[in-house]
Amino acid sequence: DAGVIQSPRHEVTEMGQEVTLRCKPISGHDYLFWYRQTMMRGLELLIYFNNNVPIDDSGMPEDRFSAKMPNASFSTLKIQPSEPRDSAVYFCASSPWTGRANYGYTFGSGTRLTVV
């Protein structure tokens, strides 16, 4: 398996523009997580899905953020409109289950977002 695939790797956009980040989880993994990593706050969970259904989106910072998972092999995280404070590295991770997952959670390489 190619692992969790995220695109793009880098995104530079102007304030006010819409940004869409993409993730392809590992086949057979029922759980998908979106994280944001910054120096100040570390790795924060934004939202997670189980079997394509959003379970907990309490980490989504504002209404400007939205996430979808239309099928088991694809998820998007959208920011509209983007702001400079959204600049961070966004990670997607997947797992067959949660709670004492023996092999941990598999992370993608991340998308480095810069909003100017």
**8: cis peptide before it, omega within 30°?**
yes
Kindly tell me which residue out of 91, 94, 113, 115 binds another protein, with binding defined by CB under 8 A.
Answer: 91
Q: Which stretch binds another protein (CB under 8 A): 21-29, 65-73, 75-83, 87-95?
A: 87-95
Give min distance, CB of 81 to another protein, in A: 27
Q: How far is CA 90 from the centre of its chain?
A: 6
**Alpha-carbon distances of 73 from 1, 7, 23, 44, rounded to whole Å:** 13, 14, 8, 23
Q: Which two tokens stand for residue 111?
A: 């998308």
Q: Which stretch binds another protein (CB under 8 A): 12-20, 22-30, 71-79, 93-101?
A: 93-101
DSSP 8-state class, residue 26: P
Q: Which two tokens stand for residue 5?
A: 């695939």
Told to check if 43 binds another protein by CB under 8 A, we report yes
At 87 the three-state DSSP class reads coil
Kindly tell me which residue out of 56, 83, 84, 85 binds another protein, with binding defined by CB under 8 A.
Answer: 56
Kindly tell me which residue out of 17, 27, 80, 98 binds another protein, with binding defined by CB under 8 A.
Answer: 98
Kindly tell me which residue out of 12, 15, 55, 116 binds another protein, with binding defined by CB under 8 A.
Answer: 55
* 17, 82, 29, 26 alpha-carbon torsion, rounded to 10°: 50
Site of interaction with another protein (CB under 8 A): 4, 33, 35, 41-43, 45, 48, 55-56, 91, 93, 95, 98-110, 112
